[in-house]
Amino acid sequence: MGIQSVGIIGAGTMGNGIAQACAVSGLNVVMVDISDAAVQKGLATISGSLDRLIKKEKMTEAEKSAALSRIKTSTNYADFNSTQMVIEAATENYELKLKILKQLDGIVSKDTIIASNTSSISITQMAAEVSNPERFIGMHFFNPVPMMALVEIIRGLQTSDATHALVQNMAKDLGKEPITVKNAPGFVVNRILVPMINEAFFVLAEGLATPEDIDAGMKLGCNHPIGPLALADMIGLDTCLAIMEVYFKNFNDSKYRPCPLLREMVAAGYLGRKSGKGVYDYN
């Protein structure tokens, strides 16, 4: 039997998206965040997302109610004690993830699969911090989770074949298309994507074109569905910067130097859609 119950750490953009995908597919979900306000906000986001599916006639009211009934919210990791798998979807910060993993390791059973939704941090390094590291794996979803088909399954050096097979099948059960990649900074998609976004910020900083024209150029000239600057706003400029910092530190190569404009915008709190302002204004 495959995975039937999933715990999710984080009720933000990625966490609530993963929770929605799991619940809609029939899995029981426990979604945990640091405060009741945070988990209720995440649940409200899921409800609104399901309402949009109803308006598009892709879901019924009964199916929405059934999906929401499968989601339990909590602020206590102890509620993960009955889940077969826990997915960590916290902010892209190694120290924070390490703190979470050490707390989690003391609560869940030794057989519980622990996955990280990290977009750039070493799975091998994080696996080394938990007992039974063979049950640790990377499961990188893409935003918006309910709409995006791809999931990167990242094997750390310690990840067992059994863990990989279970998680790969679970991704397919969610209606996703998993690809398996080796552990390396940024894995595959973000290794290619985020340096391109970073270069778009260098182009913007040099005044070569307006944000609108940079995005239009990539959409019309490269057939991208969204321009790199608009995509940065969707991902979060802080997340883009964090990923570039990981590359710069791990590869020690100047081609991964974060653009100073990107760094300055993050320092100003211009993080993109989630803060109301990034390259573009969303207020």
**C-alpha 3 chain-centroid distance:** 20
Q: How far is CA 200 from CA 100, 203, 207, 235, 275, in A?
A: 34, 5, 11, 14, 20
Q: Are 127 and 154 in contact (CB under 8 A)?
A: no
Question: Which one from 5, 116, 190, 198 is the annotated catalytic residue?
Answer: 190
Question: Which one from 88, 116, 120, 152 is the annotated catalytic residue?
Answer: 152
- Interacting residues of 121 by C-beta distance below 8 A, sequence separation 6+: 92, 94, 97, 246
Known binding residue 119? Answer is yes
Known binding residue 10? Answer is yes
Instruction: Report d(CA 187, CA 137) in Å as an integer.
Output: 13
Q: Are 156 and 124 in contact (CB under 8 A)?
A: yes
Known binding residue 12? Answer is yes
Known binding residue 56? Answer is yes
Question: Which one from 119, 120, 122, 183 is the annotated catalytic residue?
Answer: 119
Known binding residue 33? Answer is yes
Task: Report the C-alpha dihedral over residues 247, 253, 259, 260, rounded to 10 degrees.
Answer: 110
- In total, the chain counts a number of residues equal to 283
Known binding residue 25? Answer is no
Active site residue 119: yes
Residue 87's H or E segment, with its range, is: strand 85-88
Known binding residue 102? Answer is no
Known binding residue 255? Answer is no
Known binding residue 283? Answer is no
Active site residue 152: yes
Place of tokens 């020690």: 252
Known binding residue 13? Answer is yes
Question: Which one from 116, 140, 183, 198 is the annotated catalytic residue?
Answer: 140
Instruction: Report d(CA 164, CA 211) in Å as an integer.
Output: 41
- What residue type is assigned to position 155 of the chain? R
- Interacting residues of 175 by C-beta distance below 8 A, sequence separation 6+: 21, 25, 149
SS3 131: coil
SS3 77: helix
Known binding residue 36? Answer is no
Known binding residue 250? Answer is no
According to DSSP, the β-strands at 136-141 and 28-32 are unpaired
> What is the set of active-site residues?
119, 140, 152, 190
List binding-site positions for NAD(+). 10-15, 33, 92, 97, 119, 143, 274
List binding-site positions for CoA. 49, 56, 119
